[in-house]
Structure 1
């Protein structure tokens, strides 16, 4: 009976505890910012803003000695992984940001087969990692590779 009374006394406290959320806004070039919301928990949240592009692939299968021509794909743009770490003593929320920016450098024609020509795609990838301290209801801005700006806010 005492446990029921204790649970009834604590239920308003649990109901009033609001789950924190993390708002991540991404700006690319002169485009309008796009916002994404995630819960503040220990899970990793992946934000994939890469665009898919296609190219022609032609190769010879070493096992069957047959020529295969098909369409391939590659992705360019921003890939982020965000993870909230345990709060610090001053109440700020550390957020770990890991990601990469992939840029297209060009396509050159490769091996020519009967079914088509292989295209060789050249990409450059820049990886980054940072841990930022975000104060509640304040926005933390991070510039990445000179072409992306990330704004993180914890509410």
Structure 2
């Protein structure tokens, strides 16, 4: 999958700001795959998505619960697949991926074969100056409007 855009954020607020911008494009059934090392900004990004969806709950990583659900303008399903060894085990993921909410999947590569083809991929990396580089990839033309917004900045 080719990276369509690379965005740099310099602090947590800029990461949340990017996420709020992306949240304004989200629709029921959207799946965002978040990849990156521990501390790269995945949960901070998720906090921004939650803000953009009108969710005021405290957001933290669902590492041990696997899936956390939040109610907002759209339901948000925050998933952490880091500890999943056998994604084929019955987790009911299809119900979430093709449901009425938005899914954010941390460590999504662990379940890549089960993700919809329309998944928006975000790869986070920490730069030497502690800023974040976020590679954004998609194949679904529905994301082209977001891509145009990102390209114009």
Report the TM-score when normalising by structure 2. 0.27
> Whose helix fraction is larger, Structure 1's or Structure 2's?
2
Q: Which has the higher contact order (CA 8 A, sep 6+)?
A: 2
Query: Of Structure 1 and Structure 2, which has the larger fraction of its residues in strand?
Result: 1
